[in-house]
Amino acid sequence: MSDELILVLGATGTTGRRLTRRLRAAGVAVRAASRHGEARFDWSDPTTWDAAVTGVTRIYLMAPHEVPIDPLFVRRAVEHGVRHITLLSSRGIEAMGDERLMAAERTVRESGVDWTILRPDWFDQNFDEGFLQPAVMAGGFALPVGETGFAFVDADDIAAVAAAVLTTDGHAGQSYELTGPDSLPFAEAVRIISETSGRPVRFGGTDDDYLAQQAQLGEPEEQARQALAAFTALRELGDQPPTDAVHRIAGHPPKAFRAYAEEAAARGAWDTAH
């Protein structure tokens, strides 16, 4: 792997930060890029793209929430000699009608170079680093997912799989569904967060709970109903089962949600001072 240089996009984010740390600990050369990272990369500024991909052999390709993967960037990367692309996608995108990530998957499949697609379930870290953190601190939230079970996955495990895919052979043309060890209803995950953090957190899983919350947040009803339709489709898929992908590819069993929550609480993730 000595000739390899891996470009990690979103390198200050939840998965990219962990992946960068892991690769560097293994002695792999990494260019850690984002708008405010070590190397500058901005999806909305193509003048930053060439410097980011120069000399790079493999890419961890991700775009933040709602930002599309621009096919022109992927083409540019391939022209620069990138040989393998690992894309961060998501589970359930067809059901949810996630055009952004479906297009991203098509782009890497049609890139002409080797690719691997990672399709994680909901991240554990949504509760302490991501979009649910403010709601946990405020004491509750609604999400119209009913009693459906989701196999929450830890970002450290996603990073471990990505590191294996980026540094070992045999993953080209594969799409991996990454999960934790258990399928949990959201209400159960929230109960675990409440128990471990010592904070009461309410959870509403019905459509009405969600519409009332979004109205209170000032979201136009039409927009809320669009999101509701996507969540309804996800719910109708039924319980999302765990897979053995993390264990098989990273070589260790995935972290249980409770272990994640206990570690985050012990670190003070939900203390008021944060």
Using the contact rule CB under 6 A, the part of the chain among 22-30, 116-124, 160-168, 253-261 near ligand NAP is 116-124
Q: What interhelical angle do 257-266 and 186-197 show, nearest 10?
A: 30
Give the residue, chosen from 43, 71, 113, 219, that forms a contact with ligand NAP under the rule CB under 6 A: 43
Q: Which is nearer to ligand NAP, 70 or 209 (CB)?
A: 70
Please state the closest distance from residue 66 (CB atom) to ligand NAP, in A.
8
Q: Give me the DSSP letters along 81-129.
A: T--EEEEE--TTHHHHT-HHHHHHHHHHHTSSSEEEEEEE-SBGGGGTT
34 binds ligand NAP (CB under 6 A): yes
By CB under 6 A, residue 180 contacts ligand NAP: no
Please say which residue, 36 or 217, places its beta carbon nearer to ligand NAP. 36
Closest distance of CB 55 from ligand NAP, Å: 19
User: Residue 228: enclosing H or E segment and its boundaries?
Assistant: helix 221-236
191 part of the interface to ligand NAP, by CB under 6 A:
no
Give yes or no for residue 36 binding ligand NAP (CB under 6 A).
yes
Torsion angle (degrees, nearest 10) of CA 10, 148, 214, 91: 30
Which residues fall within 8 angstroms of residue 98, CB to CB, at 6 or more apart?
Answer: 90, 92, 230
Number of residues that bind ligand NAP (CB under 6 A): 27
90 interacts with ligand NAP by CB under 6 A: yes
Sign of CA dihedral 66, 71, 76, 79: positive
CA dist 68 to 21, 81, 160, Å? Answer: 25, 22, 24
- Rounded to the nearest whole angstrom, what is the least distance from the CB of residue 187 to ligand NAP in the complex? 17
Q: Is 127 in the site for ligand NAP (CB under 6 A)?
A: no
Smallest gap from residue 91 Cβ to ligand NAP (A): 7
